[in-house]
Every structure is written in C-alpha cells, then in structure tokens.
Structure 1
Amino acid sequence: MKSAVETLNPTRVRLTVEVPFEELKPSLDAAYRKINQQVQVPGFRKGKIPARVIDQRFGRAAVLEEAVNDALPKFYTEAVNEGELNPLGQPDVDITDLKDNETLTFTAEVDIRPELEIPDYSGIEVTVDAVEVADEDIDKAVDQLRERFASTTVVEREAADGDVVKIDLEARVDGELLEDGVATGVNYTIGSGQMLDGLDEAVTGLAAGGTATFTSELKGGSGAGQEAEVSVSVESVSSRELPELDDDFAQLASEFDTLEALREDSRRRLSEERTYQQATEAQEKVLDALLELVEVPLPEKLLAEEIKTRKHNLEHHQLPQLGMDLDAYLKLQEKTAEEFDDELREQAEKGIRTQFVLDEIARRDELNVSQEELTEHLVRRAQSSGMSPDQFAKAVVEGNQVSMLVGEVSRGKALASVVESATVKDTNGEVVDLEDEDETEGEEAGGTADAVAEAAEANEAATTGEQGDAKSNES
C-alpha cells in the first residue's frame, strides 16, 4: 500500500491511498463467504456456491463493493498511522479508481488537530476579587437560616408583606386556560418575588376567600414567555414569626451552643465559599489570557458539528426540562435568533480552542494521568451526575468514554500548571495563593478539570483523536 498526504489547510488534509489488488484478497474472500451465507442458488448447498457462480449470478461488482467496504477502514487507518496524523471525526472517502485484479485507489479528506505553538505564558497576570466577609454578610446568612425556622399561624385578616398565603392560580393566554396553567394549594410568601411578577401586589390586602386578577409574563410551562391573565384566589393567610436571635436559636438551628459560635461558623463557610469562587475566577481569567496568546485554527466541520450538538442539547434536553421551547427561551433571555447563534458559535469556538491548547500543553509537558487521579475524577463526576461511582464507571466503560475522562483530567493538570506559573492578585493588590488546603496532586488536577469540563464537554467525542470507521462513497 502506498499513501500520500496533501495539506489542504492547517486543519484538514487529503490522503491519497493506492492499494495493490492482492492486499484486497482477505476482504474479497470474506465478501464471497458473506454472500454465500445470504443467497441460495439451485443445485448448490448454502455456503458452497463457487465464486464464479456468484460472479455470474450477482455480478463481480457487488462482490468488489462488499470487499472494498470491508477493507477501507484498515487501509485508511494504516495511511493515517503512516502519515503520523491525528484525525478528528469521520473522513470523507471517495473511491477514485478500482481496477479488478489490479489496484484500488481512494482519497480520504479528514480534519486534523492543528499544530500549535505555545508561547511562554509565565508572564500572565490577572486580578480577581478579594476574599472579604463583612459583618453584614454574616447577618444575612444568619437571617436566611432564621427564615428556615420561622413558624406560621393562620390569621383572620387581610394579607400583608411577609405573610404566607395559600393560593390557587389559573393562567389564560388569549382567553384560553392553559393545560398546565392551573395550580392549587400553593404556599407563597408575600414579598419573596419567587413566582410571577405582579403576584405580590395582587394578593396584598386580600383575606381568605378573596380573589384578584393580574397580567404577567409566564416564566415556564407551555406559555413561557407569553403574557397571561392570571386569576388568584386566597385560601388562607398566615403570619410568620421568626425565632429570637439568641443562644437558644443557635442550639435549635445548628450544632453550636452559642449564637457567637454560629456566627463564626457562618464566617468560615462564607470565607471558604468565596475562596473557591476566587480560585474559579482566577482559572477562568488565566485561561482567557492563555487563549489570547495562542493562534488556534479551527476545523470548520468540527465547529459546525459542535454548534449543532450544543443547540440540539439545549432544544431537546435542557429546555424541555424547564417546560419551554427555543422561542420562549429567546424571549425570556431578550435575545434574537441571530444573537443566540452568534453566542453559541462563540462558546463552541472557545470550547474547541480550550481543548486544543490544553491538550498540547499536556502532551508537551508529558502530564500523564495516574489511576488514582482518574478514580478521583470519576468519583467527582459521579457525584455531580447523581449516580454511584460504580454506576457511573459502568456507563463510562460501556459508552467507550474512558478516554474522555482521561482527557478532562490531563487538561485540568495542564491548566493547573498554567495557573501556577501566572501571577494572580486580588483587588487589594495582594498576591493570591491558589493551592488547595489538601495539596494532593489528584485533587488539584480533578478540581481544575471540573473548571474546564463545561467548555470541552460537548465536543469531547469529536476531538479525542479517535479515527472512526471510514465509509466509502463511490464516484
């Protein structure tokens, strides 16, 4: 077999492959055996039909087509390996010449990973929010906890701000009651703003048995994004009483004996939360700065598939769970279809560029993934998916997605190395130390991998470098 590689652009090549006919013999024999098992010819037992009879009855061309389709993936893979290529996705194969008993010639166009020049990134500097916890923040956290332990008492009066009302709702669009536009026995705290715009004003001043009608834009369901006429009736009104802020409350709401200890724990939790947010912000900003330094050609076919996949997932998986379609989502987001498409393309481009750059750093720096690191990341992904580690591992293996997880961890390690070499300061001018309290390498890698997983997830299968099966399109 002979093969030649022609570079069409930085992300696409054309392979021209010439195969001597004798190398087709194993596939040709297999084709005869397969046809033998599928057809019957009078005078011959099934599976014992001579090749010449098959040629006469069904045509030599049919046998050749079967043989070529069987052999193409093998010859394509050999040509890829010979050319030391790193293909992305499926090739476009065209049989240019097939001479019986002489040669098979075909071409295969395929996207490849571009060769990247990673410059010195040690000079990257970013600024992130300082980790600060004010007394007001602690007051707010304790008040939120206090709200959870509030008691309610039914009262015989008109509803006021802060009261809990039990209500029934009906929503109509253009006078028609929506199929999913009825809700009964809903408890709602006036002033929370957690349901429909205009609801607070409608129920304020109503006593049990009172009704009101208001207009509001629906946020979910079949009428999401549409103006609806909403009828509300009040079943009951309850006043809310908050517990006193004292040591008794601390003992009721937590494992602490004093209110002061509870407040200190709130301070600690808030500090940890904002430290994590600070680390995430640093990773995102360092990644953006890194991408600005590297020129990354994008395979148009891969990009188109990535955009298509993201849009499909949104329309057919994410939005239906929220009870809305794309039109309602665009209205809710106050975006045009063109703005949405531009934003989707931008996200897809960043996802692919992120993966290419971090993969190259991981390859260049030989950032291998240990079994321990892979296991830690698998457990973390299982938790986020709501599955047990065993269930998640089984799904990963059955879906041939082990390489996906390995890629996530190696890219996490690559980003971690870039962040480590960068200078990160907070808004107070202080240098930020981003090392985890638990300094195990696996947790560092896994945590950073999670930070970039969203950017790389959708295009993962297309960009793992798997060659796939070549399909022939005879000219």
Structure 2
Amino acid sequence: MKSAVENLNPTRVRLTVEVPFEELKDSLDAAYKKINEQVTVPGFRKGKIPNRLIDQRFGRGAVLEEAVNDALPKFYQSAVEEGELNPLGQPEVDITDLKDNELLTFTAEVDVRPEIEIPDYSTIEVEVDTAEVSDEDVDEAVEQLRERFATTTVVERPAAEGDVVKVDLEARVDGEVLEDGVAQGVDYTIGSGELLDGIDDAVTGLEAGGSTTFTSELKGGSGAGQEAEIKVDVATVSSRELPEADDEFAEQASEFDTIAELREDSRKRLVESKQQTQATEAQEKVLDALIEMAEVPVPEKLLEDEISSRKHNLVNHQLGQMGLDLASYLQMQDKSEEDFDAELKEQAEKGIRTQFVLDELVNTEKLNVSQEELTEHLMRRAQSSGMSPDQFAQAVVEGGQVPMLVGEVARGKALALVVESATVKDTNGEVVQLEDEDEEAGEGEEAASADESAAEAAADGEATADSESEGDKPAGDDKQS
C-alpha cells in the first residue's frame, strides 16, 4: 500500500491511497463467504457455492463492492498512521480507481488537529481583584446572618418595605387565566425583588384582605416573555424583626460565644472566598491570554458540529427544563437571533481553541494523570451532577467516557502549570501567590467547563473534539467511480 498526504489547509488534508489488488485477498475471501451464506443456488448447499458461480450469478461487481467496503477502514487507518495524522471526525472517502485484479485507489479528506506552537507563557501577566476584606464586608455578612434569624409578627396595618406579605396570585394573558398562572399562599418580602417586577409598588400600602392588579412580564412558565395582568390578594401582613448583633445572637446563630468571635470567623471565611474567586479569575484570564498568544486555526466542520451541539443542548435540555423555547429565551435576554448565533460561534471557537492548546501542552510537557487524580476529579463531577460517586462512575464507564475525564484532568494540570508560570497581580499591584489547593479546585472546574463554558467551553468543546478523534473510520461516504 502506498499513501500520500496533501495539506488542503492548516486543519484539513487529503489522503491518496493506492492498494495493490493482492492486499484485498482477505477482504475478497470474506466477501465471497458472506454472499455464500446469504444466497441460494439450486444444486448447491448454502455456503458451498463456488466463487466463479457467484461471479456469474450475482456479478463480480457485487463481490468487489463488499470487499472494498470491508477493506477501506483498515487501509484508511494505515494511511493515517503512516502520515502521523491526528484526524477529527469522519473522512469523506471517494474511490477514484478500481481495476479488478490490479489496483484500488481512493482518496480521503478529513479534518486534522492543527500543529500548534506553544508561546512562552511565562511572559503572561494578568490582574485580578484584591482579596482584601473591609469592616463593611464583615458588617454585611453579619447582617445577612441576622436576616436568616429574623422573626415575623402579624400586624394590622398597611404593608411597607421590609414587611412579609402572604399573597395569592393570578396571571392573565389576553384576558385568559394561564394554566400555570395561579399561586396561593406565597410569602414575599417587599423590596427583595425575588418575585415579579411591579409587585412591590402593587402591595405596598395594602392591608390584609386588600386586592389589586398590575402588569408584569412573566419570566417563566407557559407565558414566559409575555405581558400579563396580575391579580394579587393580600392574606396577611407581617413585620420582620432582626435580632440584635450581640453575644446572645452569636450563641444562637453560631458555635461562638461572642459577637467578636463571630465577626472574626466571618472575616476569615470572606478572605477564603475572595481568594478562591481570585484563583478562578486568574485561571480564566491566564487562559484567555494564552489562547490569544497562540495561533490556533479551527477546523470548519468541527466548529459547525460544536455550534450545533451547543444549540441543541440549550434548546432541548436547558430551556426545555424551564419550559422555554428559543424565541422566548431571546426575548428575555433582549437579543436577536443573529446576536445569539454570533455569541454561540465565539464560545464554540474559544472552547475548541482551549482544548487544542491545553492538549498540546499536555503532550509537550508530558503530563500524566494518576488514578488518584482521576478519582478526585470523578468525585467532584459526581457531586456537581447530583449523583453518587458510584452511580456517576458506572455511567462514565458504560458511556465510554473515561478517556474524556482523563483529558479533563490532564488539561486542568496543563492550565495549572501555565498559571504557576504566569505573573498574577492584584489591583493594588501586589503579586498574588495562589494556593495549590485553590488551583486544583479551579483547574478541575476549568477543564470540565472549558466548552461547559471553558464548563461549558472545555467540557462541551473538549467532549466534541475528543469524541471526534476516537476510532475514526470511513463510513457511509463511500462512492465508486
């Protein structure tokens, strides 16, 4: 067998393969055997029909077609290995010449991973928010805790901001009550902004037993995105009383004996939270800088598939679970379909480039994934999916997704390596030393998400490219000429 590679562009090649006819012998024998078992010829037992009679009765062309279809995947794979290619997706195969007892020639066009030169990532410098915690931040945290321990008392007066009202709601569109537009006994804190636009003004000043109507755009359900007339009946009005921020409150709301100890613990937790946010911000910005520095061409077909996959997932899964269609979603987001498509394309391109660059880093830095690292990543993914580790592991194995998880961990390690080499400063100009534990926590998320964005950009983008590159074989595109 002879093969030659022609580069059509940085991400697509054409393989030209010539196969001497003697190399088709095994496939020809298999073709005769298969046909022998499928047909009946008077005077011969099934499976015992001579090859020459099969040629006479059913045509040599039928045998050749069966043999070539059987042999193509093997010869294609050999040509891929000989050319040291990394194919993405299924090839487009065209049989250009088939001379019986002489030669088989075919071409195969396929997308390939582009060659990527990793830039000097040690020169990357990014700025992140500081991890400073002010007294005002601590005050706000304590205030939120007081809110959780607030008590309510029914009062006989008009409702005011901060009060809790128990209400019944009824939504009408074009005069008709929506099937899912009735709710009863809903507790709502005036001013919280957690229900419908316009409800604060509507219920303020009403006493128990009061009723009014107002218009509002529905955010979900069957009438999502539509203007509705909302009827609201107030059943009760209750005032909220917050406990005093003193030692007694500290004992009630925490394991601490004094408000000073509670405040100090709040400060510590806020610092840890800001440091984690800082680490995540650093990873995102370093990754963006790395992708911008590297020249990464994107295969057109892979991009089309990635866009289609993301759109299908959004429309049929995410929006479907919320009872929305794409039109309603775009209306809520105040976006045109053109803007949405442009954003989707940008996200898909970033997801693919992210995977290509991090995969190249994994190879050049020879990064390996240990069983312990894979197990830890699996545990995190199981937790985020709401499944038990055993259930998630079983689903991963049955779905053949273990290589995908290994890829996510490896890319996370590659990203951590780049972040470690880069210079990260906060807005005060101070160099930020990122903790290893924070990096590991972030890198797992980043790899799983970067294409989930770079959750869903590496998970969506990565999953697409991973699945495309596994076990590529020509199928369904064969043409004889």
Task: Give the TM-score band, short-chain normalised.
Answer: over 0.9
The separation in 1 between residues aligned to 2:259 and 2:122, in whole angstroms, is 47
The separation in 2 between residues aligned to 1:336 and 1:53, in whole angstroms, is 66
Aligned residue type for 1:165 = V
Tell me which residue corresponds to 1:449: 447
Quick one: which of 452, 458, 461 aligns to 1:459?
461
The separation in 2 between residues aligned to 1:211 and 1:438, in whole angstroms, is 52
Identity of aligned residues (%): 75
1:109 and 2:114 aligned:
no
* 8 A contact 2:279–2:438 mirrored in 1: no
1:189/1:41 CA distance change after superposition, 3 Å: farther
* 8 A contact 1:416–1:448 mirrored in 2: no
Alignment of 1:210-359 (within 5 A): 210-359=210-359
Deviation for aligned residue 1:298: 1.1
Tell me which residue corresponds to 1:470: 474
The separation in 2 between residues aligned to 1:74 and 1:109, in whole angstroms, is 16
Structure 1 stretch displaced more, 13-22 or 47-56: 47-56
The separation in 1 between residues aligned to 2:442 and 2:334, in whole angstroms, is 38
* 8 A contact 1:165–1:237 mirrored in 2: yes
* 8 A contact 1:123–1:422 mirrored in 2: yes
Deviation for aligned residue 1:42: 4.5
Deviation for aligned residue 1:359: 1.2
* 8 A contact 1:373–1:446 mirrored in 2: no
* 8 A contact 1:88–1:467 mirrored in 2: no
1:186/1:57 CA distance change after superposition, 3 Å: farther
Aligned partner of residue 473 in structure 1, secondary structure: coil
Q: Deviations over 1:266-298 (max 9, x none)?
A: 111111111011111111111111122111111
The separation in 2 between residues aligned to 1:109 and 1:252, in whole angstroms, is 70
Deviation for aligned residue 1:53: 4.1
The separation in 2 between residues aligned to 1:50 and 1:166, in whole angstroms, is 88
* 8 A contact 1:170–1:183 mirrored in 2: yes
Aligned partner of residue 123 in structure 2, secondary structure: coil
Structure 1 stretch displaced more, 131-140 or 24-33: 24-33
Deviation for aligned residue 1:44: 4.2
TM-score by length of 1: 0.94
* 8 A contact 1:280–1:451 mirrored in 2: no
1:160/1:64 CA distance change after superposition, 3 Å: same
RMSD between aligned residues: 2.1
Aligned residue type for 2:283 = Q
Aligned residue type for 2:75 = F
The separation in 1 between residues aligned to 2:207 and 2:48, in whole angstroms, is 90
* 8 A contact 1:166–1:237 mirrored in 2: yes
Aligned residue type for 2:73 = P
Q: Deviations over 1:342-397 (max 9, x none)?
A: 11111111111111111112211111222222221111111111122222222222
Tell me which residue corresponds to 2:146: 146
Q: How many residues align?
A: 473
Structure 2: any 5+ residue segments left out of the alignment? none
* 8 A contact 1:413–1:445 mirrored in 2: yes
Deviation for aligned residue 1:443: 6.0
Aligned residue type for 1:97 = D
The separation in 2 between residues aligned to 1:352 and 1:444, in whole angstroms, is 19
* 8 A contact 2:447–2:459 mirrored in 1: no
Aligned partner of residue 161 in structure 1, secondary structure: coil
The separation in 1 between residues aligned to 2:172 and 2:28, in whole angstroms, is 68
Tell me which residue corresponds to 2:421: 421
Q: Deviations over 1:52-89 (max 9, x none)?
A: 44444443333332222222211111110000001111
The separation in 2 between residues aligned to 1:383 and 1:130, in whole angstroms, is 29
* 8 A contact 2:87–2:472 mirrored in 1: no
Q: Deviations over 1:188-211 (max 9, x none)?
A: 111111011001111122223322
1:210/1:46 CA distance change after superposition, 3 Å: farther
1:22/1:159 CA distance change after superposition, 3 Å: same
Deviation for aligned residue 1:433: 0.2
The separation in 1 between residues aligned to 2:8 and 2:150, in whole angstroms, is 69
Aligned residue type for 1:221 = G
1:18/1:236 CA distance change after superposition, 3 Å: same
The separation in 2 between residues aligned to 1:233 and 1:265, in whole angstroms, is 43
Structure 1 stretch displaced more, 443-452 or 363-372: 443-452
1:200/1:42 CA distance change after superposition, 3 Å: farther
The separation in 2 between residues aligned to 1:37 and 1:362, in whole angstroms, is 49
Deviation for aligned residue 1:468: 1.8
Aligned residue type for 1:159 = A
Structure 1: any 5+ residue segments left out of the alignment? none
1:61/1:267 CA distance change after superposition, 3 Å: same
Structure 1 stretch displaced more, 101-110 or 39-48: 39-48
1:438/1:154 CA distance change after superposition, 3 Å: closer
The separation in 2 between residues aligned to 1:169 and 1:41, in whole angstroms, is 78
TM-score by length of 2: 0.93
Tell me which residue corresponds to 2:190: 190
1:286/1:53 CA distance change after superposition, 3 Å: same
Aligned partner of residue 122 in structure 1, secondary structure: helix
1:409 and 2:415 aligned:
no
Aligned residue type for 2:269 = R
The separation in 1 between residues aligned to 2:290 and 2:473, in whole angstroms, is 35
Aligned residue type for 1:460 = E
* 8 A contact 2:449–2:459 mirrored in 1: no
1:41/1:145 CA distance change after superposition, 3 Å: farther
The separation in 1 between residues aligned to 2:4 and 2:254, in whole angstroms, is 71
Aligned partner of residue 89 in structure 1, secondary structure: strand
The separation in 2 between residues aligned to 1:414 and 1:250, in whole angstroms, is 44
* 8 A contact 2:20–2:104 mirrored in 1: yes
Alignment of 1:119-138 (within 5 A): 119-138=119-138
Tell me which residue corresponds to 1:201: 201
